[in-house]
Amino acid sequence: MTANPARPTGTAGSAAPAVPAGTAEGRRTVVDRRTAVLPHDYPGLLARLALRTGGRTVVLLDPGVAGTEFAARIRAAVPASRRDADVLVWSRPGDLPGVQDMARQVGDADLVVAVGGGTVIDQAKLATLLDAHPAVAGRLAVTQRSGLVVLPSDAVRPMPLVAVPTTLGTGTEASAVACLAHTWGKRLVLGSVLTPESSVVDPLATASLPSALVAEGVLEALFRVVSPYIGDHSELPTEDALVEVIAQRLAVLGCQAGQADRSGVAVPAEVRVDVARLSGLTHAGWLHRGRDPYSVKGWLIANELSTVLGIRKIPAVATLLPALWTAVTAGEPRLGSAPRLARIWSRLRAAGPAELAALPADPGPGIAALIDRWRIGREAGADPELIDETALRVVRAWGSGLPMLGGLAAEDVRRLLAAALPPPVPTPAAVPTAQPGPASAPTLTTASWTTA
């Protein structure tokens, strides 16, 4: 057994690709966090990894891809003749019992391949640590109000983990974080040991992804890369320039995904591959070196908002982001730097496509227009009780003495959420009209009102 991934060297494996290698769908990329991003025949990589590690290989498949051509490609990549190669379709939720159950399935494995979205990969990142490190299991199970769990720095994964994402935007295949559902919502688990040893970017993995979800993936990666840039007031010329280039490229890709969605066609393979690769890069430490690690308050608020409203993460981000940027522009320094927001927004508008240049110059209305242009849904409003509940949850998990909110109080969060989610606007119901009758019949003048 070895804890190091196979290097992308040597001859390709014998597994035949499912599509012609010369096409866009046939080009695949293996990302090894210890080397570079290189074109490679990853079925050969997985086969060699399985043979080098010996013992047992476990492939975890998201139910959404279990019956696809892509899943067949992954199955073929692991030597079929080996009796100790198991393929498990994993549908457990991403909570602690689900992670513990997965740990029982993979604890004696010598190679784990996780294929799916963030839920499956995040569970695999945690489950592959539990048996070898009781302290990790203890920290995941501890009762606490904080939304952040930090893993021991000396933890080491006992087997290689290969992550194969089938969604876009999370970049979890390259990140040192994982989400864990619990009674109060979601906890963010942090530790360098969580980063998979290798990851695979394959356009076939996202070929069936609706174009609307590709656009959401772009917004997620864009929000992740610009949030530290805006939230931290420091001027770091090298890191700033890197963020600006990645953000501009993501904006262009988002326009291409949005155009595909409006046209009712699939997003091109090369666009999906670029989105996947950039999503992973947004987690790179060198991109935000020197920044305040708690300069991403919008993420924390959106996380709790999605839980309270019962919506997915990116619609919650899309709902919050225009109000967040409007508050920064208005001079709320705890949420970010107004000059830096103005600069990155001007860079995005100058990225190339005419639809970006036509966006409003004011970042708040501008990002709202871009979100709508990409056809990403936003919540229209929420009752004040839900806003109050969300504000209290945000402060409980991330503030009140914890450093993540940087001094924001419940009333500050409530004010931001109220701006993002104004109360439902009353709309007049149909007004009954007077029926013909005697001249003395009364005329109806009072309308009834309902809330949308």
Give residue limits of the domains in the chain.
Answer: 24-206, 211-420
User: Residue 35: pLDDT above 70?
Assistant: no
* Domain 211-420 -> CATH class: mainly alpha
- Angstrom distances, CA of residue 235 to CA of 25, 49, 204, 330: 40, 43, 40, 20
Closest CA to 413 of 399, 423, 401: 399
User: Residue 9: pLDDT above 80?
Assistant: no
Amino acid, single-letter form, for residue 113:
V
At the topology level of CATH, where does 24-206 sit? Rossmann fold (3.40.50)
Summarize pLDDT for 334-388 with one digit per residue, the tens.
999 999 999 999 999 999 899 999 999 999 999 999 999 999 999 878 889 999 9
Looking at residue 47, its pLDDT comes to 62
Scored b (16 or more CB within 10 A) or e, 136-148 reads bbebbeeeeebbb
Looking at residue 48, its pLDDT comes to 63
Summarize pLDDT for 118-165 with one digit per residue, the tens.
899 999 999 999 988 888 988 998 888 899 999 998 899 998 999 999
Average pLDDT along the chain? 83
Summarize pLDDT for 209-239 with one digit per residue, the tens.
999 999 999 999 999 999 999 999 999 999 9
**Residue 410: which pLDDT band, with cuts at 50, 70 and 90?**
very high
Mean pLDDT value of segment 169-198: 91
